[in-house]
Amino acid sequence: MRIKTLWIKDDYLQQILSGRKTVEIRVGYSNITRLEVGDRLLLNDAYPFRIVRIGQYANFQELLGQEDPALIAPDLSPDELLDALRAIYPLEKEFLGVVALEIERV
């Protein structure tokens, strides 16, 4: 079991802590693709969570075809979510692949 610190923007962190957001999205950096179900995440160096499921996708379009957008960004429509993801991760980062981490509080 690994412990990985993830830094989450405050708005999204508050949605996670309230239980409204249960899926965190990252691109396929090697430190993310090495994560496994059961690994622990320490959000913003303070909040312990566990990975309960990992989905891997070629791009954001494939992700949105398989994952529930309301669990990723509860206040955004799927189109708004796509725009938000692409604002965070430019196209060259999306080409690394997309990882959906379903998490639960420990």
What are 43-98's pLDDT values in tens digits? 999 999 999 999 999 999 999 999 999 999 999 999 999 999 999 999 999 999 99
Residue whose tokens read 């830094």: 7
- Nearest alpha-carbon partner for 65 in 82, 83, 87, 52: 82
- Please give the model's pTM, rounded to 2 decimal places: 0.95
Looking at the structure, give the CATH architecture of the domain made up of residues 3-105.
Roll (2.30)
Ranges of each domain in the chain? 3-105
Alpha-carbon gap, residue 74 to 77, rounded angstroms? 8
Torsion of CA 88, 18, 29, 42, to 10 degrees: 130
